[in-house]
A and B are shown apart, each in its own frame.
Chain A
Amino acid sequence: MAEPKMRNISFPRYAEYNCAFKYIVEQALGARYVMPPALTKRTMELGTKYSPDSVCTPFKTVLGSMIESLEAGADTLLMTHGLCRLGYYGELLEQILRDLGYQFDFINLSDYDMDKKKEYIRIVRRINPKVNPARFLAQFMEGLRMVEYLDEIAAEYYRNCGFDATKGSYKRAYQDFLTAMYTAQGRNDVETGYREAKRALQAIPLDKPARPLRVGVVGEFYTAMDAFSNLELEQKLADMRVEIHRWMNVTNQFLHYGGQKNMRVKIKDLSAYDMGPTSTANIWYARECAERGFDGLVHIKSAACTPEIDVMPVLQNISADYKIPVLYLTYDAQTSDVGLMTRLEAFYDMIDMRKKVL
């Protein structure tokens, strides 16, 4: 019998997590990973052209990225499930891509019951029937560890990169870390890359005032975390010498959410119900930032993101109660950052002058 063909799997671009998807596909699942090209204007043009107009921007980005993956030779696309409209997106994406004439196998996690462990085995067997379960488990866990490292280093980076004494040294160390993660072939590469990045970042001298400006970032799961989609908001604000804090990432939301078990209870006075996949965490973290005396909050969402629209009135209450300014930003498929810069500069001027007076 002929050897079954090795799959060429792709998952759309998502912040810097694609190196972890690559690691899991290659090391744990024994398949090939097709790295989708970095998101560009072309991705958005493709995505916007073939998407329903009123759908939220991440759908357009994901569709554009999937088309670019197929162009790059992917024969299997993986799509996540989700707790908002995202849960329906897989089906729609597949239909649009089939109508465009692409041939591929589509693995939609929404088709599976992700609460059951058995379902994970079904997915793994579908991707590669000959997978070795022991190797799969070990390498899958290492892939998740890479996700944790990515989030930990990114958080450290955005907290400090605005303050490095020699401009650009922080950025270089972060880029080196990402390169190590994107090229990791095994456990040793991941662990060494992480340790070296930790050491490199800690060795960089910082020129940080005793009370730096601190801004908390909350918002919709895709746009708040993906630098291309939010026009590099965190980098832009950090470059003005601001500490950026964001709780929302894959580690906190999916891997360690258990540690925040009482989040719902903690925000009961602000919001009686869960209003979507990220509302509870965003409201909880916004108040955390306010109580810790942060200088401002930035709320990020794509246009027409209903769960995050529901969060906004609660943020207004937090803003009034704790006297913390909130910058609300709505993103669509625009690629010019001129308007964003105006708002960010004004926000920075405001929190800076405010800190000196209040």
Chain B
Amino acid sequence: MEHAYLGIDVGSISTKGVIIDKDDKILSSQYIWTQGDPIGAVKELVRLLEEQFDKQRYQIVATGTTGSARKLVGTIVGATMVKNEITAHAVGTTTFYPDVRTILEIGGQDSKIILVENGVAVDYAMNTLCAAGTGAFLSSQAKRLGIEVEEIGDYALRSTHPTQIAARCTVFAESDLVHKIQLGHPREDIIAGVCNAVAANYLNNVGKGKKIVSPVVFQGGVSKNQGVVAAFERTLGCKVIVDPNGHLMGALGVAILARRGSGRQDFDFAIENMEFRTREASCGGCSNHCEIICVYRGEQLIDSWGNRCERGARVH
């Protein structure tokens, strides 16, 4: 039986999964919405991945998880590699684009920039206190304008005079946008303006002080939006590469890391039928009241975390 490797990326908005073989070829991949239920999303993801997967020929021998729910999901799937999404994206991208110098990434709630030299990340930045200009902003503006978020790109490309929208902050951008709608600006121009604002906001905040060198790879859910891609190309004055699997890059990266890692654990598709639940317990050891998350498989406690000192280890 040939070896295969599973990578799962559970973000705030979407959940991504890939199974690769030893040459990083994709055997199975899926992209679904998280919908505020990472455990449910992962079970659904595993079920969908199984449908495309040849279980007679391959055995998954290592599993990696990344994204904001990486720890929770790692516990559930028995991951051999739990890695932050910044490293996962860098590893995934440099594997497929060894010459890349700059990785732009805009996801549902966060955005980051990774600078690469000689195939290794040398500097990165990630939005800190503010989620301005990410996928969530585009979704809510699409809803306001009565279109699907997937259609934004097409609308934006049809515009010849993008409306100027303040890019400083999502909240200000939104009021600016409402004013421009009420003044009668055409919808295409408004949407193109929003795309420009997302690109400008990203470069002014996350990309501030970073030297952006070509080749530039753009990924994350927002990279599927042609309007933002065009805005980046115009602003940066260079070509921006969008991989057809750009939205899977985190999952690919962590699958590759699981392959390179030493941990081995055969993956069992049976988890899609198991019952998992989490419970929050508050530690009364001191006035910090640490919120401890307990993860159960059926009735059995399989892991817990969140305590700041050893006193919390007793609370379940």
Contact = CB atoms under 8 A, between A and B. Distances in A.
B261 to A, nearest CB: 13
Contacts of B129: 303, 330, 332
Contact of A325 (B118, B119, B122, B287): B122
Contacts, number: 80
A340 B289 CA distance: 20
Interface stretch (B50-58, B82-90, B151-159, B226-234): B82-90
B236 interface: no
A342 B86 contact: yes
B291 to A, nearest CB: 9
B33 interface: no
Contacts of A354: 120-122
Interface residues of B, number: 25
Interface of B: 68, 83-87, 90, 117-126, 128-129, 209, 211, 286-289
Nearest to A40: B288
A325 B84 contact: no
A338 interface: yes
Nearest to A319: B123
A228 to B, nearest CB: 9
Nearest to B286: A40
A350 B117 CA distance: 11
B87 A320 contact: no
Interface of A: 37-38, 40-43, 303, 312-313, 316, 319-320, 323, 325-326, 328-330, 332, 338-339, 341-343, 345-347, 349-350, 353-354, 356-358
B118 A358 contact: yes
Nearest to B210: A316
Given A40-B287, A357-B120, 20 more contacts: A38-B286, A42-B288, A303-B129, A319-B123, A323-B122, A325-B123, A328-B125, A338-B68, A343-B84, A346-B84, A346-B85, A346-B87, A346-B126, A347-B124, A349-B83, A350-B121, A353-B120, A354-B121, A354-B122, A357-B118
B287 A37 contact: yes
B119 A357 contact: yes
Contact of B128 (A312, A326, A329, A358): A329
A41 B287 contact: yes
A104 B315 CA distance: 39
> Quick one: which of A38, A349, A358 has the most chain B CB within 10 A?
A349
Contacts of A356: 120
A345 B289 contact: no
Nearest to B308: A232
Contacts of A358: 117-118, 120, 122
Contacts of B126: 342-343, 346
B123 A353 contact: no
Contacts of B128: 328-330, 339
Given A338-B68, A342-B68, A41 B121 contact: no
Given A313-B209, A349-B87, A42 B121 contact: no
